[in-house]
Structure 1
Amino acid sequence: MKYKHIKNIDTTKDFILPCKKGDLKPIQQFLPVKNPDFDGSFLTHHLIYGKEGNRIYLVGLGEEKNASQIENTFQKFAFETCTFWNAEIQVLGDHLNDAAILKTVIGLEMSQYTIGAFKSTKKDTKKVTISFSSKENIQKVLEEGKFTGEAINKIKGLVDAPPNIKTPEYLGDWAKKSSKEATYTCTVLKHKKLKKQGFDAVIAVGKGSVHPPVVIINEYKAKDTDKIDIAFVGKGITFDSGGLSIKPSTNLHYMKSDMGGAAVVLGVIELVAKLKLNINIVGIVASAENAVDANSYRPGDVINSYSGKTIEIIDTDAEGRLVLADGISYAIKKFNPEYLIDLATLTGSVVRTFGYAAAGMFTENQEMANTMSAVGFKVHERVWQLPMFEDYEKDLQSDVADIKNFNGKPIEGAINAAKFLEFFTEKHPKWMHLDIAGVSFGGSQYAQMKSATGFGIQLITNFIKEKATK
């Protein structure tokens, strides 16, 4: 879609009137009838016709509590009605603030996501220009909304892609292409370089697959300094069979989504580069396929890691924390960032804790926790802090290695995984782990099966904006 700014609505053509619940006053002058039988409830829309036979769409913004998720109402509205739109449609934006306009554009752009990318017959996408009326100059807001919506759609496309297509090397190629389009630096380390540099945990996880592992390093630097403000590390398991500790077959096809954390990291770096934010960031994706083969690593093995610390393998299905351990160690040793954040679809435990409403947040840095929590509520990508007590450390003690990768108990799974990662942070004072397993992939009205949600793009980008403005 294309977005442009106009001063006034042409009432003889099609247009959209957003309104809050119970408050039609800002749009009343544009209504051809006094009572349109519409109250502005969230996620609702209503069609009436103007005097010229033009379409007038009323879109409900709901109440104040719905302000953080306006994009959802516009995604639903556009998804259900855009088939009937002409080449141009207008939106009354005079009564909306910049935040609401931004969310509106994000939602309209999100409605363009097509999950059937691999079907033999594809739907034609209609090219529509959406013109927003406003007395203020909102061109930059429109641009940011478009870029954000596009980034969300792109990472959804990655997460929903089938694992025979979306190999670790495919992610590397995606990042290379993205870096050229958005102007940032991308380096893809393949097997020889991984072995030479000591990414032993990444290599171990990928040993059972015909698709070799990679580590992707994306660098965006807007400031005239080599100092890295934030480094992000994403879990990029392109398919997770569980390895020799094999998963049950039920829902195993959904394990193509186990690179949701990597997708966020890839999408955020591209988006920040397009927005030209004044910050230096690095995105590291440690990617492998956890498959079953004669070469697969085994329960009982002791493997090395990039940090030099040894790991006893208790469960090969606890593989995401292994590749993250190498990614975290690399980020610290190579870039020494001020802030370090890893994202991963790491545990079923966090889903059992929060369901599909929030991500698990783990950190000892309360300033980071407060900022991330506030941002999460602001953009409706919520996180909730869980404890990191020393009491949990004893469950990771190993007799034969420096640490073991799983406690073997049906309790404290998400915390146990976070404590494992903490072991590789060298006590970094500003480290955070986000377990997004429950919010990255799930059911929706836009697909018959579970699919990607796009969670994380708005959360992390707004966290970056908080740090870029200070």
Structure 2
Amino acid sequence: MRLINKKNKSYTQIFHVFTEEEWIKTGKNFNKNISTFFTGKKNEVFIHTHEEGIAYFIGLGKSTLQNFEIQQVAVKFSQAHKKNLQAVPTLVVADFMNERQFEELVKGLLNGTYHYPFEKDHVFWNAKFELHFENLSQKKLDHISRKTEALSNGQTACQEWLNKPANFKKPDILSAYLKNFAKKHDLKYTVFNRRKCEELGLGAYLAVNQGSAYDAAFTIMEYRTTVKNAITFGLVGKCVLFDTGGVSLKNPDNMHYMKSDMGGATAVLGTLIYAAEMQLPVNIIAVLPITDNAVSEKAFLPSDVITAYNGKTIEVLNTDAEGRMVLADALSYLVKNYKTDFLIDLATLTGSSVRMFGDTCGALFSNSDELKDLLIKTGDKTNQRLWSLPLWDIWKDDIQSDVADLKNISMKPIGDCIVAAKFLEQFTEGHPKWAHLDIAGVAFGNVGYAKEKAATGFGVQLLADLIENYH
């Protein structure tokens, strides 16, 4: 999609974008038949054909709408009308739109092109498709074009890897992709196999990986800017490619959805893509502890006692609480080996967070008011919302063990997302600005492009906006 600051004498395709209030003011200038069917309500689309071409009237709803709502409308429009749209220069008529609002419109049009498996076969990726908008200078349009395409590339990668069937994303397949991505964008790429992990003492991660038929792939990716004294973000993404639950086997009814248990890692991957393509003036250290959680004669067992990277011992009560095991080593490894200003981990971690919030928001835990407030404000801005929950020490009592330093779950049937966060806190090594995001309910769910549950792309816009706009 090219964004152009010009207006031809005539267009065969036009997008008229209106809020309800704007339509009341200007709708009288159009054919009366249009007013009969179009009011500017949110997601309302009226298609008007005439001798010169075709016009799409797109409703945004009330003028008090948030910017992310413009993106939502554009996504739905892009998905619904892809078969009818033409690859021709197209005029956007939306005189009320400012730069940020137009950016959200373009984001939505591009993000709405996603389907699985993804191919750029949507008309918006056709070289002949141009979006003409007079309100902004060509310089600003060029910036929006670069930014929205980078974001779309990041979000698409996030959705694509989460949606892949389990046999299409084995550890070696994902590792090959990450290695090529790192080479393309000049990122430092490091991966530890099982033998190296044993040497380093990554015992909690290895406990999960030991049941796998595939070698360990504990992965570190480093994006570095040339800007001096830049902020450094440490990102950890849970990357369990498929979660059977291990010996504590999951109910098989919905086990096919467990290909989604790498939602934290895909959010981190999408953010790295955006940062690299935009050349953001920050540093990012990303740790992706790649493995599956399999059932085998070598799988770890309930009652095992494991020694984690930081030396703490963990009594395993449930092998289906594997996410916090791999995250424990990833967090402590990152903190002990890298200096970061902020430390954020993301994980499709607990059913508890799903039962609490459904698909409305992720659960947020942080030991820093600054980081917590930043994440909540950015979540509200991008509609990738988070709700803060406590990290009171009383929750630590529930994971005290008789035979180890910690248990990997509480035996109480309550508050598991809080218990999991409290468990992870023990592996942050006192990092002063840490946040844990449990995104189990929001990373994978009902979407407009698929009949079944599928990847939402949650986390990419949240992290990209946070990192890009932190000062």
- The verdict on a shared fold, with TM-score over 0.5 as the criterion, is yes
Residue 112 of structure 1: aligned partner: 113
2:96 matches 1:99: no
Q: Shift of the alpha carbon at 1:243?
A: 0.5
Q: Shift of the alpha carbon at 1:441?
A: 0.3
C-alpha distance in 1, partners of 2:280/2:9? 35
Residue 378 of structure 1: aligned partner: 381
Alignment-mate amino acid for residue 77 of structure 1: F
C-alpha distance in 2, partners of 1:157/1:27? 41
2:197 matches 1:194: yes
C-alpha distance in 2, partners of 1:250/1:378? 36
Q: Shift of the alpha carbon at 1:224?
A: 4.4
Q: Shift of the alpha carbon at 1:200?
A: 1.6
Q: Shift of the alpha carbon at 1:288?
A: 0.9
Matched position secondary structure for 2:21: coil
Matched position secondary structure for 1:23: helix
Is this contact kept in 2: 1:44–1:77, CA < 8 A?
no
Q: What whole-Å deviation, never above 9, does each CA across 1:312-333 have from its counterpart, x for those lacking one? A: 1010000000100111011101
Matches within 5 A, 1:200-219: 200-219=203-222
C-alpha distance in 1, partners of 2:229/2:178? 22
2:443 matches 1:403: no
Matched position secondary structure for 1:426: coil
Residue 133 of structure 1: aligned partner: 133
C-alpha distance in 1, partners of 2:134/2:25? 13
Matched position secondary structure for 1:239: strand
Q: Shift of the alpha carbon at 1:30?
A: 7.9
Q: Shift of the alpha carbon at 1:23?
A: 1.6
Alignment-mate amino acid for residue 73 of structure 1: V
Matched position secondary structure for 2:287: strand
Q: What whole-Å deviation, never above 9, does each CA across 1:95-119 have from its counterpart, x for those lacking one? A: 32222122112211122212246xx
Matches within 5 A, 1:40-439: 40-50=40-50, 52-63=51-62, 64-88=64-88, 89-116=90-117, 125-126=122-123, 127=126, 129-137=129-137, 138-225=141-228, 229-439=232-442
Is this contact kept in 2: 1:318–1:406, CA < 8 A?
yes
C-alpha distance in 1, partners of 2:175/2:253? 30
Q: Shift of the alpha carbon at 1:387?
A: 0.7
Alignment-mate amino acid for residue 152 of structure 1: Q
C-alpha distance in 1, partners of 2:26/2:166? 48
Change (3 A) 1:25 1:276: farther
Is this contact kept in 2: 1:19–1:60, CA < 8 A?
yes
Moved more, 172-181 or 282-291: 172-181
Is this contact kept in 1: 2:154–2:272, CA < 8 A?
no
Change (3 A) 1:83 1:189: same
C-alpha distance in 1, partners of 2:167/2:439? 23
Alignment-mate amino acid for residue 359 of structure 2: Y
Moved more, 198-207 or 435-444: 198-207
C-alpha distance in 2, partners of 1:79/1:19? 19
C-alpha distance in 1, partners of 2:447/2:300? 36
Alignment-mate amino acid for residue 161 of structure 1: K
Matched residue count = 462
Identity %: 35
Q: Shift of the alpha carbon at 1:350?
A: 0.3
Q: Shift of the alpha carbon at 1:207?
A: 1.2
Q: Shift of the alpha carbon at 1:10?
A: 4.7
C-alpha distance in 2, partners of 1:34/1:24? 14
Q: What whole-Å deviation, never above 9, does each CA across 1:64-96 have from its counterpart, x for those lacking one? A: 234323222111111111212222233235432
Alignment-mate amino acid for residue 307 of structure 2: N
Moved more, 78-87 or 453-462: 78-87
Alignment-mate amino acid for residue 310 of structure 1: T
Is this contact kept in 2: 1:168–1:238, CA < 8 A?
yes
C-alpha distance in 2, partners of 1:184/1:201? 27
C-alpha distance in 2, partners of 1:259/1:145? 24
Is this contact kept in 2: 1:68–1:377, CA < 8 A?
no
Change (3 A) 1:412 1:133: same
Alignment-mate amino acid for residue 22 of structure 1: E
Contiguous gaps of at least 5 residues in structure 2: none
C-alpha distance in 1, partners of 2:283/2:92? 36
C-alpha distance in 2, partners of 1:134/1:94? 9
Q: Shift of the alpha carbon at 1:189?
A: 2.3
Change (3 A) 1:273 1:242: same
Is this contact kept in 2: 1:168–1:214, CA < 8 A?
yes
2:26 matches 1:8: no
Is this contact kept in 1: 2:352–2:415, CA < 8 A?
yes
Moved more, 224-233 or 99-108: 224-233
Alignment-mate amino acid for residue 308 of structure 2: S
Matched position secondary structure for 2:447: coil
C-alpha distance in 2, partners of 1:240/1:314? 17
Residue 19 of structure 1: aligned partner: 18
Aligned to 1:440, which of 435, 443, 451? 443
Change (3 A) 1:148 1:25: farther
Change (3 A) 1:25 1:180: farther
Contiguous gaps of at least 5 residues in structure 1: none
Moved more, 234-243 or 329-338: 329-338
